[in-house]
Amino acid sequence: MTAALTIDGVGVSFSGFKAVDGVSIIVEEGELRVLLGANGAGKTTLMDLISGKTRPTEGRIHLFDTEITGWSEYRIARAGIGRKFQIPSVFREFSVQRNLEVASCRDPRLRANLGIGISRPQRRRIGEVLEVTGLADARDLPAGSLSHGQTQWLELGMLIVQDTKVLLLDEPTAGMTQAETRKTAEIIKGLRGRHTIMVVEHDMAFVREIAETITVMHLGKVLAEGNVAAIERNPDVRRAYLGSTGITEEAA
C-alpha cells in the first residue's frame, strides 16, 4: 500500500492553546477515512493544516513522497489536495456545466477560463462527472437555481473534475434531506479507490454507510482508530463522544 497522506506529529497552538496536539495519521492511497469528534476536538483545524489554511507549529505533512508542510493554500491545491467546506462555493450565475469547465481548466488565462479551448478529453471528463454527481439533467441550469444538495454535489464535482488526489470533505451532508444524504453517500462511495478521501461528519447514519476506517479526535489528539465495530466498542470513545448510542444514531 502507498501512503497518500502522512501526518506526522502535527500540531498548532493559538495564544498558548493547542488546538491540534501531536497528531499522527497515515491515510493510504484510495482510502476513505472519517474523522469523528465533538465540536472543538480539532477536526476542522487539522483539515486547515493539511490544506494550508493554517500553518502548523510542529510536525510534518507529506502528500505521497512530497513534504507540503507550511505550503500556501494555492500551492497545496495545485499539488493535488482539494477541500470542500460546509458552505458550498460555486459560480451561481454560471450553468452547472460551465462551473465544471472553469474548474477543469488549468490554464489561468482569461480565454481558457471562459470555456474557450476546452479539450475533448476534458469534455469527456466533465460528462463523466455530471453522471457521477447526478447532475447530467441539470447541466444547463444556472448553479443558483439548484437545491442545497445539488449545489453540494456540484462543488464536489468541481474538485473531482480536476483529478484531485486527496479530497477533504468537511461535513458534506450538513443541511441535506435524508434523500440527499443517501445520494451523497452513494457518490462518495463511488469515488473510493479513485481518490483518497477524508471526511469530517457528525451524521452517524451517514458515517456507518461510508466509513472504512475512523479516526476519533478528542481535545486536539487522536483518541482511537479502527473500523465501525472497533470504534463502537472502544470505552474511551463512548465516554468522550458516542455515549450509549454507538454509530447508529446521532451521537449524544
Domain count, the chain: 1
Say what the pLDDT of residue 240 is.
83
Residue 56 counted as domain residue: yes
Residue 201 counted as domain residue: yes
Q: Report pTM.
A: 0.89
Residue 98 counted as domain residue: no
Residue 49 counted as domain residue: yes
Say what the pLDDT of residue 205 is.
87
Say what the pLDDT of residue 227 is.
93
Say what the pLDDT of residue 113 is.
55
Contact 126, 161 (CB under 8 A): yes
Say what the pLDDT of residue 250 is.
42
Residue 115 counted as domain residue: no
Domain around 60: 1-80+197-252
Query: Mean pLDDT in runs of 10 for the chain (252 residues)?
Result: 95 93 97 94 96 96 97 95 85 94 72 63 93 96 96 94 93 92 94 94 89 94 94 90 58 35
Say what the pLDDT of residue 111 is.
46
Residue 157 counted as domain residue: no
CATH of the domain at 35: 3.40.50.300
Q: Kindly report, residue by residue over 197-209, the tens digit of the pLDDT.
A: 999 988 888 999 9
Residue 41 counted as domain residue: yes
Q: Kindly report, residue by residue over 124-148, the tens digit of the pLDDT.
A: 999 999 999 999 999 999 999 999 9
